[in-house]
Amino acid sequence: MHRSIPTPSVSSFSVGPLTIHFYALCIIAGIAIAIYLGDKRYRKAGGGQNVVADVAIATVPAGIIGGRLYHLITSPDAYFGAHGRPLDAFKIWNGGMGIWGAVALGTLVAYWQHERLRRRGREGVLSFGAFTDALAPGLLFAQAIGRFGNWFNGELFGRPTSLPWALKIPVALRPTGYESYPTFHPTFLYEAIWCVFVATLLFILEKRFRPGQGFLFYVAAYCVGRFFIESLRIDTAHAFAGLRVNEWMSIFVAVMAGFLFWRTGRNGHKREMSDSDW
C-alpha cells in the first residue's frame, strides 16, 4: 500500500463567533518562540531584560506587513487581475507571506527601534549585530513552524511524486493539469527541516563568528535551501529566464548576505565592533 502524508481535512475551527485558522496559529506560535529564544540568548550575551520584546513590538507588525506586501507585489493577479478579488489581499489567514519582505522590512524596523532604545540610554542594549545574532536561530524555528500553516491550507506543495513521504492533496486543491496526480512533494516539510538544520549549524558554529555574522549566515544558508525547494514548486509564479522570481531572489540575497558575511569577518580581525556597528 502506498504511504503518504495526508493533508488536514480542516484548516480552522470556531469558538463562538470567532473563526481561528491554523495558519494564523502557526505564525503566532513561531513569533512567540522567536521572541522567547531571542530574549534568552540576548540576555545570555549580556543584553538587558525585555530589550528583545520591546523591539518586537514594532518589528512583528512590520514583518507581517512586509511579508504580505512582497506576496502581493510578486503575485498580483490573484488579487488585482481580471478575476482577482482585491479584498482578499487582507485575508492573510488564507496564506501568502513572502519571507523576503518580512525579513527586509522587519530588519529595517528592528534596527530603527533598537537604535531608538540605545539613543534613549536604555540599559543593556548591545550592538545591533549581537541583537540579530541572538534572534537568528529563533527566526529559523519560527519559519519552520510557520510552514506547517501551509500544510493546513493545502498549499505551496511541489511536483508530483510517489515517494513514501509524499503529500496527498485533495482533488479540489490540485492545480490545473495535475488533477490525476494524488501525491506531491511536501515542500513545506522540506523547508521546515532545512530551517531546523540551519539553526543547528548556527548553534555549532556561532562561537567562531563576529557580531552580525550569525544573522548573515542564517540569511545566506536559508536562501541556498530555498532555491532548491522553490524549484520543486508548481504553484503559479512569474518567471524570468527559466527561473521563478523567488529563485532569482534566493540567488541575489544569498550572494549579498555571503558578501556581507565575508566583509564582516574580515573587518572583525582589524578592530573590535562598537555599539553602532552592524
pLDDT at 268: 58
Cβ atoms of 48 and 124 within 8 Å: the answer is: yes
Cβ atoms of 144 and 226 within 8 Å: the answer is: no
Does this model's pTM top 0.85? My answer is yes
Among 130, 112, 174, 141, residue whose Cα is nearest residue 30: 141
pLDDT at 74: 75
pLDDT at 276: 37
Residues 6+ apart with CB under 8 A from 176: none
User: What is each CA distance from 198 to 32, 89, 273, in whole angstroms?
Assistant: 19, 32, 25
69 vs 10: CA distance, rounded Å: 27
Among 93, 102, 212, residue whose Cα is nearest residue 153: 93
Match 501525491 to its residue by C-alpha cell: 183
pLDDT at 269: 46
Residues of the chain with pLDDT under 50: 1, 269-278
pLDDT at 274: 39
pLDDT at 2: 64
pLDDT at 239: 83
